[in-house]
Structure 1
């Protein structure tokens, strides 16, 4: 990837269009991007990231895209021309923004735009090339750019825009923090997913085994309960479970054999007692039946007279039944005649006084005349209904005509006021839209100002702590200096008394370590205050501890100063109180603008309502005029029709109130005449029916032997009474026959001759035998059920044990793999998870690539190495970094590096990570690279070495841009891009050497 040209308009701190010629800057290979704090150096890099990905680096809000210094009619836009994968592309991006309308008042919102063009060979053009437009869709352009780059936005910001201070934190970070960054860059989430899948499979297999073991335990407990024993289940179920179950089954079968023997004996005893009880019960029943038959025979002889009277009464009732139907017909005929006579009287009473004594023929003639008059009147009823309907229609049309006149007048009056109402609502809406745009601009400025205010407050708080840290550092340095002097003094004194110390080690016959003589005529003697080796070592340790504390305090002071500097870069040169007051003022302005903007919604709703009502009012005026004309014409036509109908009805009524009233008078009269004719004729027929029924009943009574129909009626019995007498007679006859049969039975006569039977004693003996049988049967059934249950549970236990085997083997395998992948297994001696193992391999590549550059920066002294040693406290390993010091041959922790050493180690780590991520992304060459690091912590020689390493990055025509405001770099790097800030916004200026 090589950048060629960047054009920025109304972006960040840049109010006007600013252009960066990266081809001219890259001609020297190394160029400097410099400027004052807050001028906008990082905004140039933000513009590159926004052009490629449509978003800013990190988590900065998109509201910071628009420049607060830009004019309202200038559109925010970023144009980047670059080469990707051998293709020369031009990307143009513009965010969504609010602007004033070109026509009229108010504001409108322009949508975000993204354009992509590619330079292609064109023989028809003058210079042989032309630009071909590509897609305009945001998603398609983003997917195409990311496919060509081969990197996500986060990877691009880490390997192309090396962030300020980011890799210093990575260098000193803990293993989890390094894992988080490396995981995002190298996308190792799939290995973590494998760990999760194995852990889930382990839980599933463990649950399956526990479920089977729980079922086995439950079956063992049910086996023990079924066997009815207190013998506990075996501990080793796999080895002893089936044998224990077999022993329980053998014991149960022995109990079953004993129970079956007892049951056979009880059956035989029960059969003997039951047979004796049945014989005694039969004898007692026969003796009881004979005594009961004797008593019933005496009772039947006493009721013989009543039985003869009942039979005679039933015979008379039987003969009266032949006359009963004719008597019933006679009674019905009498009732019918009385009813018809009453109806005739009622019908005559309803007639006019002149027709009350007429016969049937006269009444029929009067009915015929009335119905002829009704026919003529009914023909006029439709005309009369039409006349009344026309009257209702007239009243309705007059009401609608009046309503149309009112609605027309109201609509015309409102339409005359419509222009003034529309102009007032539109003015309110334009004012609210301008306030919304102002609120959005104030929101962006307020967010930045609050960030600066927070940074200024934190910087002031850290500044208050700095003096205490500096005093502590000074005190610790003085203490370290005193410890160093004490150690040197003790060491000098020990050297002065070294002869005595060596003499103390001499022994007779052994060679002197100094002169080699075996004779020691005058060995030196230790004087007062002789310093021992232990005293010197103790002083040396005290010196080293004091020096370490002083170095730690110095690093704390440097870290505090670095934090203050970083916060000051964000806050600027204004105090926190001033920033806070400005923020409060902006917040009040923003609240007022938001309150005005909220009115816009109501104004828009009011304008929409007025426009909708204008349409409705116009339509209402037209509809009301049309209805007014139609209703007036309808009333005129209706008046002519009513005059014609009134004349026709006047002739037909003949003096009545209305035709309908005359019809209402005649219709009931015709019906009353009709009913009177029918009633007179039916009453005459009823009298004839009564005479005929009376003659038939008298003849039937004489045939059955009765003097008259009255006697036959008295002899008849009700059906229930007759049925009761017949039942009584038949029951008495049957009872007499049954008693005679009982008294003549030979078995009953023989039983009477025997002694009195006692069935209760035999039944008691039979019940006792039956109870013994039930107990024996229950005992046998319980034993049989116990055997069946033990067999069934034993089979189930064997099945569960067979099912447990493969599940336990599978769980052991899955648990081993899950523990190994998660780093918790004893076989994983480094306690390294699978994802950490992959990240460790990537970190090893990064350390190898960074080590070569660090060796050059440190003049061969330092190099980086990856370590997988176990962490302290048994923690996991795999993501450790250490520094190899060639001067001492020792391996040091990265936290022991000084400020300058940490910088070039961080820079080397960043460059190494960039190389590895680039290879991981498919080897896309990065011909343009930006480094935003703090070069101010380096001394002159180290800075020269770092620049030498950066100069080597220009291999294969690579351009490296350094973002810094360090003054020493201006003389060392002649090619520069300067960012100047001003009250009207920042500007860019290029310094390119010839």
Structure 2
């Protein structure tokens, strides 16, 4: 990654535009970034890091230091960097978050950070292709293009010498923490922790498996009824229990067989005794049935004769009932004809049909007849309503003729008022403008006084800042001049000189009485920074006050307060008059709108009334015509229906003439009455004929049944009929005898009863059989309890033995699995039993990386300090360290004396040289760990002031080696000798105004 060009403005101590051409500076490979402390060297590094990653280089630095306090608050701060990687040429531009003055009014507003990334065709491309303007996307794209994140970039591009001097002297445990953060080897420590956790888990599993084996063995002991068994005796114990169970099972089988034989014998004796008793009882019941057989046969014959006689009497009873119904129906028909006056010779069927046809033809006119009077009254009312509507139409015509003249008067009033109100907006705007001018006129004087006060404050704070700066510079010069005395005062007998490295001090310098110490210089520097910050705050406030004053002067001009007051009064009067006219316009407009609404309402009413009058006239004429037609149809229907109702029942004059009906409803009712009478007579005649036919059929049926049942007469049949009580008694007697005989015959046919006839053994010993059965039952119960207990014990023992075998197998499997995990965890965590070195996995990985770093450092160190020193690694504890062995111990091999020395024994210049080589070696290894990223630009921080000229030549030579591969190396230092050795440089100097400026020398 190569830096081509850096531009910044209003950043840190740089209020103006700063442009640095790194490509031109690095033409010779090495350039110098120099300037006094606090002038702004670190800000340039911060600007590069901010442009790339949006953050700063220093730990704990905040973005508040980016925006320059020396620049005008309205100037936008920005950093723009052109850089080149293997992925192409890019230009990134970022602006930090800052507070700017409001565009209107006073105060400030927070401006958010922004960023833009462009891909360029070449470094001089001024336009480029936009890649993104979103800050998160730009951060990802820059990281991808460079191949390093911000932490790796800061460790490989900016080499902080002070950190690596501390790294050189630190114990192995501290060195491990720093290397771990650089190489990201925390994953190996997490792996070791995870293995330790897995070790605890598998140990817990093994212990749980052992507990399950012990529990299973305890349950087996309880089930088998043994004390303190072990895993080896379990199978033998189970076999013993099985043999005992088999023996008790055989005894149980013998006892059960004896019980079955005793039970069978007892049951046989009981069955034989029962069969003998049952046979004797059945024989007695059969002899009784044989004695009553003749009586039962006579009863059965009497029931058969009575059954045949009942069939004849049933038909005779039906004939008597039919004759009674025929007489009743004939009498009812004759009586109905007498009551209705219908003679026997009338043709009722044709007369009924004629009456029905006439009633159906005129029935619908009954409702018409009923509505005639109502319709006549409604017709008269409609004619009266039509006259009223005609009068209302005439009134509306007169009212509508007068409306146009009234509306024209309202329109003229509105036009006059609108002309007067037209000047209102202009008058209002003029009043507002004049009032703002009055307010600005009052603010102008206050702003003038504020600017005067702010200028005085700036002047006072500038004088104070210059005084503090001169004081600081004086103290620094005095301390540098007396630095030898300070170093001499710090020496103790036997200490090595930090300048020459000698332990002999023949003439130790003594500090002057007024020699300032570091705390005094730091306090002066702090006061200087505080004074500069106060000056920047005052300058920012002055810029804001001046901007506000210029705005007020431009707005007011040379107008005085009296003229503004007169103009304001005139404009206010114009505004009030226009407002009154506008109110009048609104009122007249409301009246005109109401007038138009009333006119439209009159027009709608006129149209509605006129249409209603026309419709009413047409409807009345149609209703009068239909009314006449309906009245004529009703009169004809009354005449027709009355004539038909008055006709006699027969053509020979039988019947009675009736007077004409008073209405059609009465005539229809008369027709319905005549139809009802005719239908009643016809129904009565039908019933009488049906009853006579039934008598004939029943007479023939009685004669047929007498012949079928073999009776001479109906009287003989009735004499043979039994009463219900007699029939029930005879039938019950026959049924009981038949059922008893069936039961007796079935019992005698049973096999046991038949066998009892041949059973002559005497006597049967029932008591002895029962006693033998009781004894067999007791013996079987004892044997069964013993067999069940033995079976349960062997089953429980077998089941528990199976559980024990499974638990043992599970324990063995768990132990086999755990051994590999335990060993791997112990090796990774440095347990001495399996890892005698005591080095953990994470430390081992860091050792390999550390060896690479030391090898890279030695490659550079051989060309410095006359090849006297090389670095060596060791897995032993450092002297004086109580920590466990980290494997990251570091020693310095002094080839002059062929001895190993502690890094802390090196002099100041030796420490810087070794630390620089270690830093460059670490940068190379970190670069390789990042995937072989090529870093074209490096910055090496302070530390060159501790080197003698010869060593400085060696260091510069090693840095020049870095440039042989095309790298650009920037040295950050204020050592004067470097200015003579390195012609290309960036010089940073403070300005009297409080900021800093940059001068580039190529």
C-alpha distance 987-756 of structure 1, shift in aligned 2 (>3 A): farther
SS at match of 1:877: coil
Aligned residue runs from structure 1 range 197-236, under 5 A: 220=217, 223-224=220-221, 226=223, 228-234=224-230
Q: Deviation of residue 19 (structure 1)?
A: 0.8
Q: Alpha carbon RMSD of aligned pairs, Å?
A: 6.9
Aligned counterpart in structure 1 of residue 122 of structure 2, from 119, 139, 147: 119
Write the deviation string for residues 408-460 of structure 1: whole angstroms up to 9, x where unpaired: xxxxxxxxx9999xxx9xxxxxxxxxxxxxxxxxxxxxxxxxxxxxxxxxxxx
What are the Cα deviations for residues 253-304 of structure 1, in whole angstroms up to 9, with x where unaligned? 32133123202321331122111221233245447757987999999999x9
Confirm or deny: 8 A CA contact 1:8 1:79 kept in the other structure. Answer: yes
**Structure 2 partner of 1:815:** 822
**Partner Cα distance (2:71, 2:320) in 1:** 126
Q: 1:324 to 1:97 in 2, by over 3 A?
A: farther
Q: Larger Cα Rg: Structure 1 or Structure 2?
A: 2
3-state SS of paired residue (1:116):
strand
Once the 2 structures are TM-superposed, how far is the Cα of residue 565 of structure 1 from its aligned partner?
9.2
Task: Name the SS of the counterpart of 2:529 in structure 1.
Answer: coil
| 1:45-124 superposed matches below 5 A | 45-57=45-57, 75-84=76-85, 89-95=89-95, 112-119=115-122
Task: Provide the rounded CA distance (Å) in 1 between the counterparts of 2:666 and 2:983.
Answer: 132
Q: Using a 3 Å threshold, how does the CA distance of structure 1 residues 911 and 749 change in structure 2: closer, same or farther?
A: closer
Distance 2:169 2:259 in 1: 99
Partner residue of 1:261 out of 237, 250, 271 = 250
> Quick check: 2:355–2:675 contact (8 Å CA) kept in 1?
no
CA displacement at 1:839 relative to structure 2: 0.9
8 Å Cα contact 1:77/1:95 also seen in 2: yes
> How far apart are the structure 2 equivalents of 1:883 and 1:847?
11
Shift of residue 930, structure 1, vs aligned partner? 1.8
Q: Which residue of 2 aligns with 1:339?
A: none
Which whole-Å CA distance do the structure 1 matches of 2:79 and 2:13 have between them? 13
SS at match of 2:245: helix
Q: Secondary structure at the match of 2:237?
A: helix
CA drift at 1:248: 2.2
- Which deviations, in whole Å up to 9, do the C-alpha atoms of 1:188-243 show, x marking residues without a partner? 356456546755775776677667666655654565455x2324342xxxxxx4x5
Separation (CA, whole Å) in 2 of partners of 1:375 and 1:296: 96
Pairing partner for 1:152 from 149, 152, 155:
149
Separation in 2, partners of 1:774, 1:332: 87
2:922 maps to 1:909 = no
Give the TM-score taking structure 1 as reference length.
0.54
The answer on whether the counterparts of 1:363 and 1:676 sit within 8 Å (CA) in structure 2 is no
Mapped pair 1:949 → 2:955? yes
SS in 1 for 2:20: strand
Aligned to 2:158: 161
2:16 match: secondary structure:
coil
Q: Normalising by structure 2, what TM-score?
A: 0.54
- In 2, Cα distance between equivalents of 1:329 and 1:905: 150
Distance 1:569 1:672 in 2: 134
Give the stretch that moved more between structures: 6-15 or 974-983.
974-983
**Cα deviation code 1:676-725 (max 9, x no counterpart):** 999889877876787678779988699599999xx9xxx999xxx99999
Aligned counterpart in structure 2 of residue 833 of structure 1, from 836, 840, 848 = 840
- Aligned to 2:820, the other structure's residue is in SS state helix
For residue 47 of structure 1, give the secondary structure of its aligned residue in structure 2.
helix
- Equivalent-residue separation in structure 2 for 1:779 and 1:565 (angstroms): 107
Identify the residue that residue 930 of structure 1 maps to in structure 2: 939
- What is residue 879 of structure 1 aligned with on the other side? 888
Pairing partner for 1:847 from 850, 854, 861: 854
Question: Aligned residue for 1:988?
Answer: 997
- Structure 2: distance between partners of 1:876 and 1:726: 128
Distance 1:801 1:296, change over 3 A: same
Distance 1:324 1:71 in 2: 140
What secondary structure sits across from 2:267 in the alignment?
helix
CA distance in 2, matches of 1:315, 1:655: 85
Superposed CA deviations along residues 547-572 of structure 1, whole A, max 9, x for unmatched, are: xxxxxxxxxxxxx979x999998997
Cα contact 1:209–1:808 (8 A) shared by 2: yes
Structure 1: distance between partners of 2:925 and 2:137: 28
Which residue number corresponds to residue 182 of structure 1?
Answer: 179
Distance 1:30 1:749, change over 3 A: closer
CA distance in 1, matches of 2:532, 2:728: 122
| Contact 1:316–1:716 (Cα < 8 Å) also in 2 | no
Change (3 A) 1:959 1:653: same
Structure 2 Cα separation of the partners of residues 808 and 782 of structure 1: 38
Any gaps of 5 or more consecutive residues in structure 2? Answer: 327-350, 372-423, 433-485, 495-516, 542-597, 628-664, 707-712
- Cα offset for 1:9? 3.1
Matches within 5 A, 1:366-515: 366-371=359-364
Distance 1:33 1:669 in 2: 138
**2:362/2:668 contact within 8 Å kept:** no
- Cα 1:752–1:7, aligned 2, differ >3 Å: closer, same or farther? same
Partner of 1:826, secondary structure, is: coil
Separation in structure 1 between the aligned mates of residue 99 and residue 626 of structure 2, nearest angstrom? 87
- Provide the secondary structure at the position in 1 that maps to 2:51: helix
- SS at structure 2 position matched to 1:831: coil
Q: How many matched pairs? A: 714
Deviation at 1:919, TM superposition (A): 3.9
Q: Structure 1 residues 283, 866: CA separation in 2 closer, same or farther (over 3 Å shift)? A: same
C-alpha separation in 2, matches of 1:635 and 1:97: 74
